[in-house]
Amino acid sequence: MKSRFLFPYWYRYLGWGLFLVHIPIVLFRKQLGFESHGPDDGLLSSQHVFFMTTTLLMAVGLFLAAFAKERIEDEQISQLRLDSLQWAIYVNYLLLIVSLILTNDTQHILFLNLMVPLVFFIVRFQWKIFQNNRLLKRDGDLR
Amino acid sequence: MKNNIRVERAIKNITQAELAELIGVSRQTINTIESNRYVPSTVLALKIARVFEKPVEEVFMLEDED
């Protein structure tokens, strides 16, 4: 079974690179000259540009890291990927529904909605791969 | 579904890694199939049976609950 629409293996490093780059920018936003709430809150104001660039860096980074090929792409990996995607969508919608009921802070709901599926997917997928590797070490006899 | 890949491998004297390479999957996949945690597709099952030069029913067999 061929996995289509996946990025080459090394894109994961590019993805993590982009994600790591966005962290110091967010942490040192004041020093970089981006106020959290400036007087100009319109389109393409410094706040909007800041939000746009950091969010794009984060989202694209996570996206590339999530959907890069594994070293050996086979049907079992595809199955794990599909399974993890289903979990990620379930968790995302559960959180979305809960947050819609409990708050009307739409900006943070949007932000949560942007991150949760990808982060949960990556964590769950990599955890399953880690488990398989551990089981292989434990009972993968060579003869 | 159960299988006797482990036995067939022992008869043919090949490792999980060698079998994995012969059919183009990862060692992890062979290991999960052997320990009944993953059910392979028909294509993969046929490929495995071809390595052992046996019909697929002699390598994979249904269980009562299937």
B51 part of a folded domain: yes
Inter-chain touch A135–B38, beta carbons under 8 Å: no
- Computed over its alpha carbons, how large is the radius of gyration of chain A? 19
Best mutation target, A2, A74, A127, A134, to test chain B (most B CBs within 10 A):
A74
pLDDT tens across A42-80, in order?
Answer: 777 777 888 888 889 999 999 999 999 999 999 999 999
Number of domains present in the structure of chain B: 1
The answer to whether B16 contacts A135, with C-beta atoms less than 8 Å apart, is no
- Provide the pLDDT for residue A43: 75
What percent of chain B lies above the pLDDT cut of 70?
100
> Which residues are within 8 A (CB) of A139 and not within 5 positions of it... i.e. 6 or more apart?
B31, B35
pLDDT at A30: 76
Cross-chain residue pair A76–B24, CB shorter than 8 Å: no
Contact A140 B27 (CB under 8 A): yes
Model confidence at A1: pLDDT above 70: no
Q: What is the pLDDT of residue A17?
A: 95
Task: Determine which of A136, A137, A138, A139 to mutate to test the interface with B (most B C-beta atoms within 10 Å).
Answer: A136
The pTM (predicted TM-score) of the whole model is 0.86
- In terms of residues, how long is chain B? 66
pLDDT value at position B9? 94
Mean pLDDT across B13-19: 94
Can you tell me the ipTM of this complex?
A: 0.87
Res A40: pLDDT: 59
CA distance A133 to A127: 10
Residue B66 lies in a domain: no
**Would the CB atoms of A74 and B35 count as touching at under 8 Å?**
no
Q: What is the pLDDT of residues A4-46, one digit of tens each?
A: 789 999 999 999 999 999 988 888 877 777 766 555 567 777 7
Nearest residue in chain A measured CA to CA from B11 = A143
Q: Residue B60: beta bridge partners? A: B3
Tokens 């006797």 belong to residue = B4
Q: Report the pLDDT averaged over residues A123-140.
A: 91
Q: What is the CATH number of the domain that holds B51?
A: 1.10.260.40
Residue B52 lies in a domain: yes
Residue ranges making up the domain that contains B54: 2-59
What element of type H or E holds A106? helix A106-139
Interface of A with B in 52-71 (CB under 8 A): 71
Note the pLDDT tens digit of each residue in A102-116: 998 888 898 889 999
**pLDDT (0 to 100) of residue A96:** 93
Mean pLDDT of B34-49: 94
